[in-house]
């Protein structure tokens, strides 16, 4: 665990040192849980967004995009349930003065119990070898059964308490489980209170005429309220989807995990409108599609897992998360939710406008059901960064930090270096750079030794470095070095473009 925390700190330091992510307002000591992206971070973020957009919109003829405003009519948030129910229960430790989400304290406690069960399984597998039957073990081992019973008991108390907004019951649960503050180690807790996560501001020039409006806590509502405009103007037939990427804002209580949990962040969401009764089929379809997308980045499948929700949000009839193994453990990266007709029906009710779709095949009008896929762009960025960060010991005894970012997402695809600053090599290198930069983000560098330049590009994840030397002037060949293998090949200049193109396709 300590190692993983250490790794997380190294990734954060690396992200700053190499221009990926900076603390917002750093010269004023920062603004908590708000971050800025530097030049390399911006490229990586743009590439992740484009990679998602291509998979969702370009590759699906029945999905189109929109870009709705951050400010929306305040009644939208009443209809969606956010004004009344977008709350987290918070609790403070009086000794450390740290604030926590009360439900997360209990869930972390549950994760520890699950960890104990997993340990028993690992121990038993070692002991029994090939004869080990995991299923039978889980169903019969007394220690496992006792822990499972504890989990069921906690769930049986936490979920109803959350559903009924029973803050006293959550407090009692924390006391009964003897949960201590991870910082102070004490159990000196305040009462549990509800806290609404939406930021608000005022629109209008005079104090009397101003209306309180909210900064959107999710992009989805912009899709719901536009769905008929989009359907009609794009002549979409059910099933069809609307995709959107954009900023969302949440006044998070616990915001201590770098860009994992921010107060201003970006979402990439897609709402898929389907016939009532067909939503579970599409929900399963999108679960599978989204997992395929994650694995298509080249990150091994075992770094991801599904977590099906036991406790469903008020709008959902099925929900799962895709979790990623961050250095801080397996955590939610994306949510896939079958949201029923909850949002559209609520908007019908609150706006007084009909939001029905006429299904000409069925000759029927209905409020469509919706399956949503919702991923945090910044969390995906963190997943890519933490998987990419590699500290390698090399055969010659030295070491290097290399960011093994999937090529298609890497900030720069090619770095071009003249071996020296004279003899016409920079001119030749510039010529190569000019030939490539229309198609690829390229970086030109002539300072320092070639070795140092390689290291700098390893550290930002550039898949290829091209070096121009004296032989280049004679036969138009260059050395091309691949980031992960560090293999160097001599190739003719006109091959560089196709080598890079191949790599981007293969990822």
Interface with ligand ATP by CB under 6 A: which residues?
218, 250, 252, 261-262, 265, 267, 332-335, 374-376, 378-379
Distance in angstroms (rounded) separating the CA atoms of residues 296 and 211:
46
> Could you tell me the smallest distance in angstroms from the CB atom of residue 359 to ligand ATP?
29
Our CB check for ligand ATP shows the closer of 269 and 458 to be 269
333/468 with CB nearer ligand ATP: 333
List all residues 6 or more positions away from 350 whose beta carbon is below 8 Å from its beta carbon: 75, 76, 78, 79
Q: Which is nearer to ligand ATP, 261 or 387 (CB)?
A: 261
CB–CB of 210/222 below 8 Å?
no
**In the numeric block, which tokens belong to residue 153?**
């008991």
C-beta closer to ligand ATP: residue 327 or 335: 335
Cβ of residue 263: shortest distance to ligand ATP, in angstroms?
Answer: 7
Which of 220, 197, 215, 198 minimizes the C-alpha distance to 373?
220
The tokens describing 462, both together, are: 């550039």
**CB contact set of 162 (below 8 Å; sequence gap of 6+):** 89, 103, 170, 311
The first and second tokens of residue 493, run together, are 């200049």
> CB 20 → ligand ATP: shortest distance, Å?
16
Residue nearer to ligand ATP on the CB measure, 325 or 469: 325
Closest CB to ligand ATP among residues 331, 356: 331
Residue number, 33 or 238, with CB nearest to ligand ATP: 33
Q: Which is nearer to ligand ATP, 18 or 315 (CB)?
A: 315
- Cis preceding-peptide flag for 239 (omega within 30 of 0): yes
Q: Which two tokens stand for residue 50?
A: 């484009």
Q: How far is the CB of 184 from ligand ATP (least distance, A)?
A: 24
d(CA 50, CA 95): 46
**Smallest distance, Å, CB 100 to ligand ATP?**
13
For the chain, what is the total number of helices (H) and then of strands (E)?
17, 23
> Taking the complex as a whole, how short is the minimal distance between the CB of residue 217 and ligand ATP, in angstroms?
8
Of all residues in this chain, which one has the CB nearest to ligand ATP in the complex?
376
CB of 113 to ligand ATP, least distance (A): 20
Contacts of 316 by beta carbon, 8 Å cutoff, 6+ apart: 309, 337, 338, 339, 340, 342
Residue 27 CB partners (closer than 8 Å, separation 6+): none
CA-closest candidate to residue 304, choices 318, 321, 319, 289: 321
To ligand ATP, the closest distance from the beta carbon of 320 in angstroms equals: 11
């Amino acid at each position: 665990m300590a190692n993983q925390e250490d790794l997380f700190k190294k990734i954060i330091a690396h992200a700053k040192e190499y221009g990926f992510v900076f603390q917002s307002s750093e010269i004023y000591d920062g603004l908590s849980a708000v971050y800025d992206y530097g030049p390399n971070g911006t490229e990586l973020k743009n590439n992740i967004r484009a990679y998602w957009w291509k998979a969702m919109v370009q590759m699906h003829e029945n999905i189109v995009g929109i870009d709705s405003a951050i400010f929306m009519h305040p009644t939208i948030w009443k209809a969606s349930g956010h004004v009344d129910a977008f709350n987290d229960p918070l609790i403070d430790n009086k000794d450390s003065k740290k604030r926590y989400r009360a439900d997360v304290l209990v869930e972390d406690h549950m994760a520890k119990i699950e960890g104990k069960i997993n340990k028993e399984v690992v121990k038993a597998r070692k002991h029994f070898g090939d004869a080990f039957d995991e299923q039978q073990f889980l169903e019969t081992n007394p220690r496992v059964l006792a822990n499972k019973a504890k989990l069921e008991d906690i769930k049986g108390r936490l979920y109803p308490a959350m559903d009924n907004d029973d803050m006293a019951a959550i407090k009692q649960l924390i006391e009964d489980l003897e949960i201590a503050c991870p910082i102070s180690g004490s159990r000196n807790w305040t009462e549990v209170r509800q806290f609404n996560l939406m930021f608000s501001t005022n629109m209008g020039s005079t104090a009397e005429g101003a209306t309180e409006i909210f900064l959107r806590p999710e992009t989805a509502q912009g899709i719901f309220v536009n769905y008929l405009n989009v359907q009609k103007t794009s002549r979409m037939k059910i099933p069809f989807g609307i995709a959107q990427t954009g900023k969302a804002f949440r006044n998070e209580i616990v915001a201590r995990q770098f860009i994992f949990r921010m107060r201003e962040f970006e979402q990439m969401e897609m709402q898929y409108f389907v016939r009532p009764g067909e939503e579970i089929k599409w929900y399963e379809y999108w679960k599978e599609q989204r997992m395929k997308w994650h694995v298509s980045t080249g990150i091994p499948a075992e770094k991801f897992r599904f977590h099906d929700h036991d406790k469903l949000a008020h709008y959902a009839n099925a929900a799962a998360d895709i979790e990623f193994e961050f250095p801080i453990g397996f955590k939610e990266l994306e949510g896939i939710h079958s949201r029923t007709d909850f949002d559209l029906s609520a908007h019908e009710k609150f706006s007084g406008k009909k939001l029905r779709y006429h299904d000409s095949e069925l000759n029927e009008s209905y409020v469509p059901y919706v399956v949503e896929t919702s991923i945090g762009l910044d969390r995906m960025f963190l997943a890519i960064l933490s998987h990419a960060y590699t500290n390698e010991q090399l055969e010659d005894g030295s070491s290097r930090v290399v960011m093994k970012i999937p090529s298609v997402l890497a900030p720069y695809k090619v770095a071009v270096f003249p071996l020296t600053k004279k003899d016409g090599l920079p001119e030749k290198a510039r010529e190569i750079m000019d030939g490539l930069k229309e198609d690829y983000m390229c970086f030109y560098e002539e300072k320092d030794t070639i070795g140092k330049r390689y290291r700098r590009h390893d550290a930002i994840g550039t898949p290829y470095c091209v070096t121009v030397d004296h032989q280049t002037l004679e036969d138009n060949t260059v050395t091309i070095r691949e980031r992960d293998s560090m293999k160097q090949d001599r190739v003719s200049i006109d091959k560089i473009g196709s080598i890079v193109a191949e790599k981007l396709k293969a990822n």
